[in-house]
Structure 1
């Protein structure tokens, strides 16, 4: 029987991940408000007035704000979800037991989330170019992020490694 040791670096990273989650949430909310104010100002001829504040948005097409909101809607929830899953994995590592049955599916969910973010990004660029006037003759560029797709593949492989490690450990527990 092995004695589990607490991993202080994993505990630190788990705490840091919680801070990153809150920063991502707050940044997303602030960005949503600022881009929304910009969109409203742009739709009102370049000025938005509310009690105690005036926002000037001259020379920026409403489509650019719509593109910003679309990008925010694609990235923010996905990043927060991935961070939550990573924090859960780090918590098991901090407790000295990373090969728990839940971590394999967590890695799979992270891979699926990153893949979904990339696919949503492609779809967003295509839809924005097709239906939104961005105020420029240049369309948004659709680029393929090979690093993101390599991460998806690596995470699927790691998920299988964790599943196999968990299975072998359970078999070892059954052996006398």
Structure 2
């Protein structure tokens, strides 16, 4: 390339991903605190009296709060991690040079993170269904989300495309 070209769409997408990153962290933390207080209240007969906080968790089965906490502990950090990797990829795209050697492993890490999030979700549903009372009329069903697993495969393919694109570009630089 003769000069670097700025990509404004990548900058916009980077802003969107940054907002999602911070929402995952802030909402994840807030919901963790709320669900934790609810769990304490549920274990304490339905009420929590803390300084500046009075909460009621009447009629909410402990199992549902545990399930929500498990989901939150898996999803919020997972989303934040995926967003951090995407931000790094988008920064190279915004600079006009996405075929850097670092982006292929980033795509691979994103695919592994998404696969782990989904596998942990499926495993936790099985464990929670077998060990925790989720309440009357609530049944934990495991389902296989083909869209998620398809995204994992697509990301692995894109990682290989980026790896090959980087290799070809490096080869081209070496030719006269």
TM range (shorter): over 0.9
SS in 1 for 2:55: strand
Q: Are 1:33 and 2:33 an aligned pair?
A: yes
- Give the deviation of 1:4 after TM superposition: 1.7
- Give the deviation of 1:137 after TM superposition: 5.0
Q: How many angstroms apart in 2 are the aligned matches of 1:98 and 1:143?
A: 36
Q: How many angstroms apart in 2 are the aligned matches of 1:37 and 1:164?
A: 50
Query: What is the TM-score with the length of structure 1 in the denominator?
Result: 0.96
Q: How many angstroms apart in 1 are the aligned matches of 2:151 and 2:160?
A: 14
Q: Which runs of 5+ in 2 are unaligned?
A: none
Q: Which position in structure 1 is the counterpart of 2:112?
A: 112
- Give the deviation of 1:15 after TM superposition: 2.4
Between stretches 49-58 and 31-40, larger displacement belongs to 49-58
SS in 2 for 1:48: strand
SS in 1 for 2:126: helix
SS in 2 for 1:141: coil
- Give the deviation of 1:16 after TM superposition: 2.5
Q: Which position in structure 2 is the counterpart of 1:159?
A: 159
Q: Are 1:86 and 2:86 an aligned pair?
A: yes
Q: How many angstroms apart in 1 are the aligned matches of 2:136 and 2:102?
A: 48
Instruction: Calculate the aligned-residue CA RMSD, in Å.
Output: 1.1
Q: How many residues of Structure 1 are paired with residues of Structure 2 in the alignment?
A: 176
Q: Which position in structure 2 is the counterpart of 1:125?
A: 125
Q: Which position in structure 2 is the counterpart of 1:22?
A: 22
Q: How many angstroms apart in 1 are the aligned matches of 2:152 and 2:111?
A: 5
- Give the deviation of 1:138 after TM superposition: 3.7
Q: How many angstroms apart in 1 are the aligned matches of 2:51 and 2:74?
A: 31
Q: Which position in structure 2 is the counterpart of 1:12?
A: 12
Q: How many angstroms apart in 2 are the aligned matches of 1:135 and 1:29?
A: 25
Q: Are 1:77 and 2:77 an aligned pair?
A: yes
Q: How many angstroms apart in 1 are the aligned matches of 2:24 and 2:159?
A: 25
Q: How many angstroms apart in 2 are the aligned matches of 1:15 and 1:61?
A: 39
Q: How many angstroms apart in 2 are the aligned matches of 1:37 and 1:81?
A: 26
Q: Which runs of 5+ in 1 are unaligned?
A: none
Between stretches 135-144 and 164-173, larger displacement belongs to 135-144
Please list every run of at least 4 consecutive aligned residues from structure 1 whose deviation after the TM superposition is greater than 6 angstroms.
Answer: none
Query: What is the TM-score with the length of structure 2 in the denominator?
Result: 0.96
Q: Which position in structure 1 is the counterpart of 2:98?
A: 98
